[in-house]
Structure 1
């Protein structure tokens, strides 16, 4: 049946279900926050963190991911690197948004372990074969790794429990070109291959797409950072202000709070320079919350395709909401949420996790 444009409401369940995830990231300030949120949630299990080129080149993404999971207390999670370049286009990176190393002003320790011996594409294939129907895929960067995996094994969509994508924009300005969102714009061919490949899945397993239309409503402000620090057990206030000297560093004695504040300060300075206010759009933690089902959201079924040839519109995601193309829906687009509910859960989970992580070991 072709789509009717109807809106579906999703509320967090009273009893959260355990979610096992393959996470594909281009770490990235908001990717780092998404990883921390997943690590902090007791009902989430990351089976692998796969790295793609995007915010910074893939080797730096891989170092960032290894180091970030280390400071988050999870050096056991596999980290695999993907392709150095998109499928067709030259690589674009965005150090102006995320900093020279991709984590703002944060100075992470060097990783104390190597990356996985397998590639990200191989990990997508092998993990979904080992755990058919059990794993949720969460992609918060370009879709290059998943597209390469689909070329190795087109059956991946039928083995994933669900796929959640942070990417695209539909009725909202782009953040890379007037009509395109960064993750899709970096590798439009990969995005198209993924949307086309997932056309085979049943309606209840269609990819959930979290576009800029919604993720730019997830605004993290200095007050959120201060609240997070308090919940994490910091005895001194953690303040970020537009009036602070540019590049000021946190003095927090809690390493994770210090890294978060230093990363977000850079991100907020960038948004302020763009005329958006002294805030940070934390796109990826919201997509993580959708993957976990811990945030209320609304969706509309649609057939999503990606423009590859337009001189002005390359990388634009286009949604057919009413079946005009005569093709079945291949996605459920997230069209709304309640940001205060997201932040309440996010700050509580992450704050309490950092507090527990920072507690002195028991003498018993």
Structure 2
């Protein structure tokens, strides 16, 4: 059974990722680290605790991470994810409390408790992981694998012309993480960048399929709906996911991308559980920290120009064996896991 530790800045798509992990019966989710990013770290922690209560998984420890990036002020994304990070979704205040470990300590504790077995998943800025690596430089050797949602490779950015959000929030942390893994032996981190994750596009039709499969038919969302219209689904998890996603749809629509949303983080969660889902290309990755126009850019040396060993396996697409586009394969998996889980929660 895969043992997973997730570091998230929940966040609409982080919430979808957590639902995927919690819905996977073959996964032992041993901890969740809250990182500042999509919203402040205390709100992220509340979101994580509330989601666990909704999903009946209150035994999973949730830790609080750093409130700030390593060396710059925090920027958040309430315009993208809503005032609490979960769009229009409303969850009761959690009755549980975070663990006594901070997030960096939680990373280290989980890795030492499961040496060679732990799968680390980072779907937010990598501040907590960088602090953990400073405290325990041997951490990369203890992980079975690390999967990162971050960066953009031979593709545009979504925060600046060249930088992806998770990297842009804390470029110094990302640079430290890539450098730490480059200095270690073992499996290369799997990096899911915008070059792939922006092809994982959720639509109202896909959400309607999820609701139907969960036995909770809903009113399919439309750009013609009144802003903030709430889900008609009777299933509590489906309702939360739909209310969160509507805000995300509206944001992308206002950006001129259509009434859709990119599910970056759930895709990274799927890769963490099954790397055979994707094709990768090894490279040496570094983060630009000083460029006037390029700060936060993830630069990949595919041609060994730097004469440095690879420190990342960059996800570049699906596998030749797949008979359908990668996004279709992913959404089939997502619905197949989350819909039965939502049914069980409602029973």
TM-score band by shorter chain is: over 0.9
The structure, 1 or 2, with the larger RCO (C-alpha pairs under 8 Å, 6+ apart) is: 1
Partner of 1:221: 203
2:69 aligned counterpart, secondary structure: coil
The C-alpha deviation readout for 1:109-135, integer Å capped at 9, x for no partner, is 110111111100011112211221110
1:161 aligns with 2:153: no
User: How many angstroms apart in 1 are the aligned matches of 2:228 and 2:218?
Assistant: 18
Partner of 1:3: none
Report the Cα offset of residue 294 of structure 1: 6.8
1:86 aligned counterpart, secondary structure: coil
Report the Cα offset of residue 24 of structure 1: 0.1
Partner of 1:15: none
Partner of 1:296: 277
User: How many angstroms apart in 2 are the aligned matches of 1:175 and 1:295?
Assistant: 27
Partner of 2:335: 347
1:121 aligns with 2:104: yes
1:70-89 mapped onto 2 (5 Å cutoff): 70-89=53-72
User: How many angstroms apart in 2 are the aligned matches of 1:355 and 1:94?
Assistant: 32
Report the Cα offset of residue 188 of structure 1: 0.3
Preserved contact between residue 218 and residue 231 of structure 2 (Cα < 8 Å): no
User: How many angstroms apart in 1 are the aligned matches of 2:329 and 2:104?
Assistant: 35
Instruction: Flag the 1:325–1:287 CA change in 2: closer, same or farther, 3 A.
Output: same
Given candidates 239, 242, 250, the residue that maps to 1:261 is: 242
Preserved contact between residue 49 and residue 77 of structure 1 (Cα < 8 Å): yes
Report the Cα offset of residue 170 of structure 1: 1.4
Partner of 2:20: 37
1:311 aligns with 2:292: yes
Report the Cα offset of residue 341 of structure 1: 0.5
1:245 aligns with 2:226: yes
User: How many angstroms apart in 2 are the aligned matches of 1:190 and 1:282?
Assistant: 23
Report the Cα offset of residue 306 of structure 1: 0.2
Preserved contact between residue 179 and residue 313 of structure 1 (Cα < 8 Å): yes
User: How many angstroms apart in 2 are the aligned matches of 1:240 and 1:190?
Assistant: 38
Partner of 2:212: 230
User: How many angstroms apart in 1 are the aligned matches of 2:345 and 2:22?
Assistant: 11
1:334 aligned counterpart, secondary structure: strand
Report the Cα offset of residue 295 of structure 1: 6.2
User: How many angstroms apart in 1 are the aligned matches of 2:219 and 2:345?
Assistant: 18
1:256 aligned counterpart, secondary structure: helix
TM-score (norm 1): 0.92
Moved more, 59-68 or 237-246: 237-246
Partner of 1:13: none
Partner of 2:321: none
User: How many angstroms apart in 2 are the aligned matches of 1:225 and 1:346?
Assistant: 11
Preserved contact between residue 29 and residue 103 of structure 1 (Cα < 8 Å): yes
1:209 aligns with 2:191: yes
Given candidates 317, 325, 329, the residue that maps to 2:306 is: 325
Partner of 1:49: 32
The C-alpha deviation readout for 1:31-83, integer Å capped at 9, x for no partner, is 00000000111111110000000000000000000001111121111000000
Instruction: Flag the 1:294–1:37 CA change in 2: closer, same or farther, 3 A.
Output: farther
Partner of 2:42: 59
Preserved contact between residue 289 and residue 295 of structure 1 (Cα < 8 Å): no
In structure 1, runs of 5+ residues without a counterpart are: 1-17, 360-364
User: How many angstroms apart in 1 are the aligned matches of 2:264 and 2:110?
Assistant: 26
The C-alpha deviation readout for 1:272-312, integer Å capped at 9, x for no partner, is 00000000101000000000007621100000000000111
1:141 aligns with 2:124: yes
The C-alpha deviation readout for 1:242-289, integer Å capped at 9, x for no partner, is 111111111322111111110000000000000000001010000000
Given candidates 148, 166, 170, the residue that maps to 1:187 is: 170
1:161 aligned counterpart, secondary structure: strand
User: How many angstroms apart in 1 are the aligned matches of 2:252 and 2:2?
Assistant: 32
Preserved contact between residue 285 and residue 310 of structure 2 (Cα < 8 Å): yes
Instruction: Flag the 1:313–1:25 CA change in 2: closer, same or farther, 3 A.
Output: same
